[in-house]
Structure 1
Amino acid sequence: MSLINTTIKPFKATAYHNGNFIPVSDADFHGKWSIVFFYPADFTFVCPTELGDLADHYAEFEKLGVQIYGVSTDTHFTHKAWHDTSDTIRKVQYPLVGDPTGTLARNFEVMIEEEGLALRGTFVINPEGQIKIIEVHDNGIGRDAKELLRKVQAAQYVASHPGEVCPAKWTPGEATLAPSLDLIGKI
């Protein structure tokens, strides 16, 4: 069963954010758009390129009212150590959530049990706490923050414009579609 349109499950965790350890829970996801961005582990190879890419585009997500949460099965202490030693991770301004028990990875169905690591999973959550976008793939393939930004813009557009949908490669300002019998077979 897909997690699309389901409400995130309750959880409590600790994150490293702006030089502090902070509590994070499912309550933090209500009332705003959020992204939960799972990655396998700190101090690895593809992961810092993805987190750095998100950091480079973080201001654009903030303008949309979106909070990003990076999550791995490392502890919040490991997140701090990585932040302190990596120039790329030092740019990260969003919380890095520790999930050493794998609770979040299991809740979002991205846990690789035999490895104790998460798959690369991206989840966009609306202000009601419902999952609207899911992207999960093999750990050898990095993600693109610009494409994620475009998908968030489309999700926000559809949420605020009932009866309209966004076609492939849609970007803000482009035409949308209003599904109807008149469009069938004409696209």
Structure 2
Amino acid sequence: MSVLNTKIKPFKATAFKEGKFIPVTDQDVLGKWAVFFFYPADFTFVCPTELGDVADHYAEFQKLGVEIYSVSTDTHFTHKAWHDASDTIRKIKYTMIGDPTLAITRNFENLREEEGLADRGTFIVDPQGVIQAVELTAEGIGRDAADLLRKVKAAQYVASHPGEVCPAKWNEGGETLKPSLDLVGKI
């Protein structure tokens, strides 16, 4: 079953953010755009490249009113240790949620049950808490924060412009489509 177009489920967790341990719940997510950026594990290989890439684009996400929540099944203590040990992870300013109970990862249907690890999954959540986009990649395939930023902009555009949709490769300021009978078979 797909979680696309469903509301996020209740959760509570402890996260590491800017040198502190903080509580995070589903209620903290409501009222703004959010990205849940799941990854398999701290102290690995592809994961830090992705998290660092998101960190490099974090200010751009913030300008759009988007909060980033990275999530793995590690603890918030492990996130802090990784932050202290890695130059790449040290630059992260967004919230790093620990999910050792696997509850959040299960809520997003993104858990490898047999391993207790999250899949490499990205979920764009609107201010009402509804999942608007899902991207899953295999273990060895890293994601691109610039493309995630483009997708967030498209989701925000569609949300604020009912009746319009964003075609393939759409970028901010690009042409959109207004689905209608007149367009059928003409694209």
- Residues 1:181 and 2:164 are matched in the alignment: no
CA–CA distance in structure 1, aligned partners of residues 161 and 147 of structure 2:
21
- Structure 1 residue 135 and structure 2 residue 135: aligned? yes
TM-score, scaled to structure 1: 0.99
Amino acid at match of 2:116: G
Cα distance in 2 for partners of 1:30, 1:83 equals: 27
Distance in 2 between residues matched to 1:110 and 1:157, nearest whole Å: 27
CA shift for structure 1 position 111: 0.6
Q: Shift of the alpha carbon at 1:112? A: 0.6
Moved over 2 A (4+): none
Q: Which residue of 2 aligns with 1:6?
A: 6
Unmatched segments (≥5 aa) in structure 1: none
Alignment of 1:139-150 (within 5 A): 139-150=139-150
Distance 1:129 1:76 in 2: 23
Matching residue of 1:160: 160
Deviation at 1:78?
0.3
CA distance in 1 between partners of 2:145 and 2:167 (Å): 19
Is the aligned partner of 1:40 residue 2:35? no
User: What corresponds to 2:80 in structure 1?
Assistant: 80
Secondary structure at 1:146 match in 2: helix
Structure 2 residue runs without a partner (length 5+): none
The answer for the alignment partner of 1:58 in structure 2 is: 58
Aligned to 2:71: 71
> Cα deviation per residue 1:54-79 (whole Å; 9 max; x = unaligned)?
00000110010000000000000000
AA paired with 1:63? K
TM score, norm. by length of structure 2: 0.99
Partner Cα separation in structure 2 for residue 157 and residue 84 of structure 1: 38
> In the alignment, is residue 15 of structure 1 matched against residue 15 of structure 2?
yes
Mapped partners of 1:105, 1:4: distance in 2 = 15
Deviations 1:13-56 (A, max 9, x none): 00000100000000011000000000000000000000000000
- Give, as a single letter, the amino acid of the residue that structure 1 aligns with 2:49: T
Q: Alignment partner of 1:13: what SS?
A: strand
What's the RMSD between the two structures over aligned residues?
0.5
Cα deviation 1:96-152 (Å, max 9, x = unaligned): 000001111111111111111110010000000000000112111100000000000
